[in-house]
Amino acid sequence: MEPLNGFEIFIRILGQLSPVWIALVVTFILSIKFKRNLGLYGKLFDSPIGMIGYALVMFWVFTAIFGGPLDMIVTHDELSQISGLKNKRPGIAVPNAEEKELYSYYLLGGDNLARDVFSRMIKGSWVVIAIAPLATMFAFMVGITLGLPAGYFGGKLDTLLSFLANLILAFPVILLFYLLVTPEIVETGIPSYMAAVLFIFPLIFTTILLNSRFHTQPTLRTPLIVVVLVVMGWIYLSTVSEVGSKISFLPHFMDLFDVPGGILVVFVSVVFVNSPTVFRIVRSLALDIKTRDYVAAAQTRGEGPWYIMLWEILPNARGPLIVDFCLRIGYTTILLGTLGFFGLGLPPESPDWGSTINEGRKLLSIYLHPALPPAFALLSLVLGLNLLADGLREESLKD
């Protein structure tokens, strides 16, 4: 079979991504139709910059979903190697494939190990989307749980927590990240112990949130907290307990899932590195908002400190926090790409964008196609997150 030309490659890629286009169109139609009832999210569709950023981000989110667990987009296995396709240009035909087969071509060519660049780029999006937002959310739970009382109470608690945050921030972020994922540090079990500490914060945050909200309804509060703690506690134990690691105490039949060691180390590193910055942002917002009249009114009503922090201060700090959340996912994406580029954290065969760029750049002067698609994917996702943050900031200032 003859290789595909540029236009044919473009059309085939558009066709492969058809589930993504359909999901994007449906999302935008429903969001625009009901935007007046969707709060800040709905107002995002009044901002052209925000809409462009949202479209870019959701493109990669849907690509990750349809190309990852649903496996509807990839044309070949991301690890399979086909003889004769090493470093072949985009649109090259797969040997012995039938003419009418949709998957009879490497749409974006082959890499230095004769693997499909297009499929590796799509699978790599799932690695990023699965780690970056969730790790950032965990970092926010740690930062909020510690930042609110530090800003609200002040005093020695604020001094101690601020000192610890500044101590971590004194290290260059990239250097600290590299140290946490090096094999020598991993072998000591430090990341596993850090996971046991950091991952307990969602349980603490959720328990305090529910207790402060339903403290006047003990018949509802107690069973609700018990159920939530049992479920979240089981998930927590399944996450931190891993056979063969320094922390392995949960029986195998009770372990809900196994998190690969490399993924866990990267996840913990992201949470640890981002938490101090989130802490400082939340603390500064709490220092400002606690002086407002509605906080004084809540204190006059006799509300408890945690109720005031979580149900008076935190909702009124949501604008800056949502904006920072979007930006921080972008920073995390860059960090993941940097780690993959230097071969740290994730397995060598991982299709993550950083690893793929690193493999492609070794022959960049001869073959451009293996490195450019993942580099463009990384660029477009981070650009989309930055534009989305700008749109959210613009609309939040109008509230």
Per-residue DSSP letters for 248-280?
A: --S-GGG------HHHHHHHHHHHHHHHHHHHH
pLDDT of residue 35: 87
Minimal CA–CA distance to 152: which of 317, 399, 319, 274?
A: 317
Pairing of strands 105-106, 92-93: antiparallel
**Least confident range of 190-204, 224-238, 253-267, 317-331:** 253-267
Residue 226 corresponds to which tokens in the numbers above? 């018990």
Q: Are 129 and 64 in contact (CB under 8 A)?
A: yes
Which is it for the CA torsion 32, 33, 36, 37, positive or negative? Answer: negative
Using CA atoms, how far apart are residues 249 and 243, in angstroms rounded to an integer? 8
Percentage of the chain surpassing pLDDT 70? 94
Ramachandran area for residue 6 (φ above 0: left; ψ -120 to 50: alpha; else beta): alpha
pLDDT of 338 strictly over 80: yes
What's the average model confidence in pLDDT over 375-399?
A: 88
For residues 149 and 6, the model is more confident at: 149
Answer yes or no: is pLDDT of 278 > 70: yes
End-to-end CA distance of the chain: 60
pLDDT at 349: 80
Inform me whether the pLDDT recorded for 100 exceeds 60: no
Amino acid 242: pLDDT = 72
pLDDT of residue 261: 63
Q: Quick one: average pLDDT of 114-140?
A: 92
Residues 6+ apart with CB under 8 A from 90: 4, 9, 106, 107, 108, 109, 117, 369
Instruction: Tell whether the model's pLDDT for residue 376 goes beyond 90.
Output: yes
Binned at pLDDT 50, 70 and 90, residue 98 comes out as low
pTM: 0.89
Collapsed DSSP state (helix, strand, coil) of residue 105: strand
Average pLDDT, the chain: 88
List the chain domain ranges.
6-124+370-396, 127-330
